[in-house]
Amino acid sequence: MKPTCEIVVKYFLPAFRAMVAKELCEKYGMKQEEAARRLGITQAAISYYLSGIRGGTTRRRLALLKEDPKVKEMVREIASSIAGGKASTLDAIGLICKTCTLLKLSGDVCAFHTDVVPSLSKGCSLCKSLFSK
């Protein structure tokens, strides 16, 4: 049994975090150490994200996320808030949760959930039914 939240944490969150890290370092000129501190991760993780050597699954998810205009907007909003010192930890977490909900509503998580959990071979629409209410 793998709930959708587990799928998000394992596959989508690293890719999303990579997008935010890249935005902080490239657009805002933040050093890897500072970006890591503000994101609550290690400098090594930032380095992996920026070099693209962190797992193939993260790269595939990153490609999917980069195509979603709502996700790109959330990345820009989070990075801008973090870089400008406007986002508290709670604010940043809230924005990440909002992005997760958008991914669930878009069906991106359901499609991947079906791939990861073979018993859902007839499809998965749990997120859409739970989060569209």
In a domain, 132, yes or no: no
**What are the CA-CA distances from residue 61 to residues 18, 31, 58 (Å)?**
10, 25, 5
> Looking at residue 62, what is its pLDDT?
62
Residues 6+ apart with CB under 8 A from 116: 2, 7, 11
Q: Give pTM, 2 decimals.
A: 0.80
How many domains does the chain fold into? 1
Q: ∠81-83-84 over CA atoms, to 5°?
A: 65
In a domain, 131, yes or no: no
Q: What integer is the mean pLDDT of 100-111? A: 77
Residues 6+ apart with CB under 8 A from 132: 105
Residue 93 pLDDT grade (very low, low, confident, very high; cuts 50, 70, 90):
confident
* Backbone angles phi and psi of 29, in degrees to 5: 65, 25
Is 100 a residue whose pLDDT tops 50?
A: yes
The CB density around residue 19, as the number of other CB atoms within 10 Å, is 21
Enclosing domain of residue 26: 4-124
Is 83 a residue whose pLDDT tops 60?
A: yes
What's the pLDDT tens digit per position in 6-26?
Answer: 878 887 888 888 889 999 999
Q: ∠56-39-31 over CA atoms, to 5°?
A: 90
In a domain, 13, yes or no: yes
In a domain, 50, yes or no: yes
What is the C-alpha to C-alpha distance for residues 102 and 109, in angstroms, rounded to an integer? 10
In a domain, 130, yes or no: no
> Looking at residue 60, what is its pLDDT?
64
The CB density around residue 28, as the number of other CB atoms within 10 Å, is 14
Q: Which helix (H) or strand (E) holds 57?
A: helix 56-66
Residue 61 pLDDT grade (very low, low, confident, very high; cuts 50, 70, 90):
low
- Percentage of residues in the chain with pLDDT exceeding 90? 23
Residue 55 pLDDT grade (very low, low, confident, very high; cuts 50, 70, 90):
very low
Residue 32 pLDDT grade (very low, low, confident, very high; cuts 50, 70, 90):
very high
| Six token digits for residue 80 | 């801008």
In a domain, 133, yes or no: no
